[in-house]
Structure 1
Amino acid sequence: MLITLGRRYLRPYAPAIGVLLVLQLLQTLASLYLPSLNADIIDDGVVVGDIGFIWRTGGWMLAVSLGQVACAIGAVVLGARAATSFGRDLRHDLFDAVQTFSAREVGQFGAPSLITRTTNDVQQIQMVLLMGFTIMVMAPIMAVGGVIMALRQDVELSALLLVVVPVLAVVMGLLLWRMLPYFRAMQGRIDAINGVLREQITGLRVVRAFVREQREIERFGEANTALFETSLGAGKLMALAFPAVMLVMNASSVAVLWFGAQQIDRGAMQVGSLTAFLSYLMQILMAVMMSTMMVMMVPRAAVAANRVVAVLDTQSSVVEPTTPVPLASVNDGDGPRGVLRFDDVEFRYPGADEPVLAGVAFEAVPGTVTAVIGSTGAGKTTLLGLVPRLFDATGGTVSVDGVDVRSFAQADLASLMGLVPQKAFLFSGTIASNLRYGRPDATDDELWAALEIAQARDFVEELADGLEAPVTQGGTTFSGGQRQRLAIARAVVRRPRIYLFDDSFSALDYATDARLRAALAPRTADATVLVVAQRVATIRDADQILVLEHGRIVGRGTHAELLASNATYQEIVTSQMSLEEAA
């Protein structure tokens, strides 16, 4: 998968990578050439006392060194640019892929894991690429070139390489073998700690309300300790790697000096050649060490690549139509606009024995309010989510103005909807930026009018900055009721054909709820309104009430009709008020 990602995302940077390879080749050749020049200075300059030769060769060495530095800088710059561009493009595509996911795919991966894959996993791959552009290109050339140059200096002494290189390779290989399990486990540990941390921050009020701080500290400590132990295990082995390598390298140096001194004593080798051979040996061993260290990094990056590709290759269950129906062609005559219809709709999760919804059929027309009520788990929110295609029906048809919602482009379908979710969510920014989220060209007067309808104008006017008052991520600086009213105002600003309220009045007191619904009625007079609610008082004035139980409609009619004839509705009503109050 790592190679697949590299091919896919590095193709636009192929020319820069080609230049990088040339620069790395030149840099490595210069590194291999310098010890040979140093040997010439010692043997042909210092030994015979030729000062001119020393100056000439020394000047040439300086020029080669400057060229090597220039090539190294150029290679690092190009490598860093290619690797960071790769990371940017991959994160962009991951974000785009997640944006297309339905609620099913998001639940499949989990939000903490998706965050880790988009950040930490991409970072791991990017780091390996950056190291690869430098080490993986340089190491093979340096190893092969070092062996050739060492043979040129002394063939007999080069026999030491047959012992030293395998010993170093075995040492590093054993360490790598022990490290692999730690690297495989590390990404899962990061997922776990992100999941616990995200849950604790989001549910901070609940934690404090139930005085569970100590338990949550223990939970985080367990996840943190698991990551710590995994990282420590890998760190210990990595710490052991460097002393082991240095031991092999220093022992090799001693052996070279020992046998090289005997060669010099017999007159079979010159001092400069021994110095050069020692330099080449160090270069060969360094190349082996760098290659092995790269191999250590690759497994963790490979795990990260598999996780990233899993997200990129996951197809959303909500698919864009190949030839979408143009929005302008739908009800461009005098007919009603915004007719919502469910025809024998079924929805079940993959592998589930029983459907969440089955046989759901009803029609909601403009100028009317259709309410859905039922016990917890009856499928109310699922039913509402089928309209804007948060997930698709597995049977039957959901249509708007006679067109299957799956035939619209996602953007066109979304433009027809004004959704207020069960959990009101505000984005970081200002109140104005949140209200304009679905309609950026809305004027300030339109924002204030929407706030008036949503019964939010009073508390917004009390803020020092009014519409420009800052909003934190999630709107945590506002109460639950204020967030709900701002979310309702956001939907009102959009002026959609279809309003979808998913239990959006639950945090409001009865008086505010009544005032809001009364103010909302004129604005939604020519729109279709679908309301999911738990509270009977919120929906008893609806034109049509659907009673949902175990995913099926078991009653429909007005409040009075259902109160007189439907046992399930009567049970819901009596759980909240007396029959006399309801009547």
Structure 2
Amino acid sequence: MIRKLMRSIREQKKDSIWAMITIGIEVVFEVIIPLLMANLIDYGIDAGNMNYVVKMGIVLLLAAAGQLVSGIISGRFAASASSGFARNLRHDMFYKVQTFSFSNIDKFSPASIVTRLTTDVTNLQNTYQMIIRMAVRSPLMMIFSLVASFSIDANLSIIFLAIIPVLAFGLYFIMIKTHPIFERVFRTYDKLNNVVQENLHGIRVVKSFVRETHEEEKFNTISERIYKNFKKAEQQLAWNAPLMQICMYAAIILLSWFGARAVVACGGDAALGLSTGELLSLISYATQILMSLMGLSMVFVMITISRTSGERAVELLDETPDITPPDNAVTEVADGSISFEHVMFSYHRNKGKPVLDDINLHIPAGSTVGIIGVTGASKSSLVQLIPRLYDVREGAVKVGGVDVREYDLDVLRDAVAMVLQKNVLFSGTIKENLRWGNEHATDEELVHVCKLAQADDFIRAFPEGYDTYIEQGGTNVSGGQKQRLCIARALLKHPKILILDDSTSAVDTRTDALIREAFAKEIPDTTKLIIAQRIASVEHADMILVLEDGKIMACGKHEELIASSPIYKEVYESQTKGDDDSAS
């Protein structure tokens, strides 16, 4: 895990190394200061030598200034390195997500991915900064202080060696107790983010059904679970401070007791034993050693908290995309012909009942194909196999006579344009949204495709026309307007295959007819697949598929299906009867 996370350091190695070097310089100054203080007391104050006091006071000021400056510089380098590491890690994770297929996204869930890219990366950023500062500073401080204290009095310094194992065992015990709790916390964070996202996306539904109280209860339940787990973890970590204090005060008491006896025994003469200044230095080193241990304990606490975050980040980075292009990928789609050859598909590979079962179908290039069926008939699942958003479980889907698994993914998906029922518009102007289809499209091309999609009139009715700003999710345009903008965006790709997944459901029948008429005149060579609930949207198609329970129950033209398919006839009569009743 650590090796994989370190790959995201990259250009921040330089700042990281400089941070550690300047921290080492800071530690040297800090360790020298007690020795200088001991000399000041023993050879200046006790000896009544004011010249020595002044000289040593200046040296102390310079050492303190050196410690301050090196500390500031190390802090700047550490902040730069940790921020850069977090940026790189977030970049690596986000780019990895872009390679995921829909099945990979389904495995993690969008809410979990958002948590990993935000909360988990922030935890790792804070931990990395603490590692390159405290994890370097504390061991150096402890080693240098131990060396200095042993040089003063080896017997008294054994006290430190006796206390360190006690503290280390206590810290290890705290870590193994808290890690499983933090694992539960971050899994619950995923659920919390999911609740918040659902609430915000569906806020109109929540308010129209007056379900605010229900949503608050859902939020409070999950939030309470996070609170209880965090509280339990913090209660475990709270043992860290008293453990440190007990060790620190025990060391100082033992040093004071045995050190005072040694000073009294030799009369405070450094030549005969331990002097007063040396005892004060030992107490200073005791404080430094134990503070360095406390610093290490803080590092361990952060590592304990972020260990779960690191595992979750690496889990995302290690995920293998289910759909990848072959080595010698085909880089050109010959035409818009589509073939399904004994296709079987399920969302959970090799598990459960197939969503599509033994689909055999050939669609010539330039054809218009209508697809109807009840909700859950797997209409959307069928068309999502064409741009290889999912892979078949058995059989093959071919576009232009080539198995879609042999194409370069970008080439294949650039040749297939999909307009979904749940259309997505991004925050930005209408022009910016349209140019998702072709970023180099001219204004004239934008107007042309919008006329084909029957969107030009309502766009020009806006005060700012094509420069009108679309709010995130397209909340400031109607459902029908959103659908027509998405159709225009798809047409800008000049696709060989155009898939409309119930994407005219929010427009009136006249506009629907005008859109289909424009398709017939302007893009006759494009294969058009139209999923619809209205028979009127597909009755003039070259071929109509009737799907039920993942199988093609009937296939033919409108007149043929009226005569041969009871399902199609029933839907047609129910819709025409409704029209007749409303007309009368």
> How many angstroms apart in 2 are the aligned matches of 1:555 and 1:184?
51
Equivalence for 2:269 = none
Which of these residues, 292, 296, 301, is aligned with residue 301 of structure 2?
A: 296
The alpha carbon displacement at 1:533 in A equals 1.6
Which of these residues, 336, 346, 349, is aligned with residue 344 of structure 2?
A: 346
Equivalence for 1:334 = none
* Secondary structure of 2:369's aligned partner: strand
> How many angstroms apart in 1 are the aligned matches of 2:177 and 2:419?
53
Residues 67-466 of structure 1: pairs in structure 2 closer than 5 A: 67-169=66-168, 171-239=170-238, 241-267=240-266, 268-327=273-332, 331=334, 337-348=335-346, 349-466=348-465
1:129-178 Cα shifts (integer Å, max 9, x gaps):
11000111121121122222122222333243255444544554554454
Q: Which amino acid aligns with 1:345?
A: V
Could you state the TM-score of these two structures normalised by the residue count of structure 2? Answer: 0.93
> How many angstroms apart in 2 are the aligned matches of 1:152 and 1:412?
72
The alpha carbon displacement at 1:386 in A equals 0.9
> How many angstroms apart in 2 are the aligned matches of 1:84 and 1:579?
63
**Alpha carbons of 1:200 and 1:256: their partners in 2 closer, same or farther (altered >3 Å)?**
same
* Secondary structure of 2:54's aligned partner: helix
> How many angstroms apart in 1 are the aligned matches of 2:389 and 2:64?
62
Cα contact 2:240–2:297 (8 A) shared by 1 = no
> How many angstroms apart in 2 are the aligned matches of 1:476 and 1:580?
31
Cα contact 1:364–1:530 (8 A) shared by 2 = no
The alpha carbon displacement at 1:13 in A equals 3.9
Unaligned runs of 5+ in 1: 332-336
1:57 and 2:62 equivalent? no
1:58-90 Cα shifts (integer Å, max 9, x gaps):
322333333333332332223222222221121
Q: Which amino acid aligns with 2:521?
A: P
The alpha carbon displacement at 1:284 in A equals 0.8
> How many angstroms apart in 2 are the aligned matches of 1:205 and 1:19?
53
1:247-282 Cα shifts (integer Å, max 9, x gaps):
543454344334333322222421211111111001
* Secondary structure of 1:326's aligned partner: coil
Cα contact 1:184–1:299 (8 A) shared by 2 = no
**Alpha carbons of 1:162 and 1:17: their partners in 2 closer, same or farther (altered >3 Å)?**
closer
Judge which range, 344-353 or 464-473, deviates more: 344-353
> How many angstroms apart in 1 are the aligned matches of 2:166 and 2:96?
47
Cα contact 1:168–1:285 (8 A) shared by 2 = no
Cα contact 1:371–1:530 (8 A) shared by 2 = yes
Judge which range, 447-456 or 134-143, deviates more: 447-456
The alpha carbon displacement at 1:316 in A equals 1.4
Cα contact 1:5–1:305 (8 A) shared by 2 = no
Q: Which amino acid aligns with 1:346?
A: M
The alpha carbon displacement at 1:357 in A equals 1.3
Aligned Cα root-mean-square deviation (Å): 2.3
Judge which range, 186-195 or 173-182, deviates more: 173-182
> How many angstroms apart in 1 are the aligned matches of 2:515 and 2:6?
56
> How many angstroms apart in 2 are the aligned matches of 1:64 and 1:122?
37
Judge which range, 165-174 or 35-44, deviates more: 165-174
Unaligned runs of 5+ in 2: 267-272
Q: Which amino acid aligns with 2:291?
A: M
How many residues end up aligned between the 2 structures?
A: 574
Cα contact 1:514–1:538 (8 A) shared by 2 = yes
* Secondary structure of 2:324's aligned partner: coil
* Secondary structure of 1:9's aligned partner: coil
Equivalence for 1:23 = 22
Percent identity over paired residues: 35
* Secondary structure of 2:9's aligned partner: helix
Q: Which amino acid aligns with 1:347?
A: F
Judge which range, 259-268 or 110-119, deviates more: 259-268
* Secondary structure of 1:576's aligned partner: helix
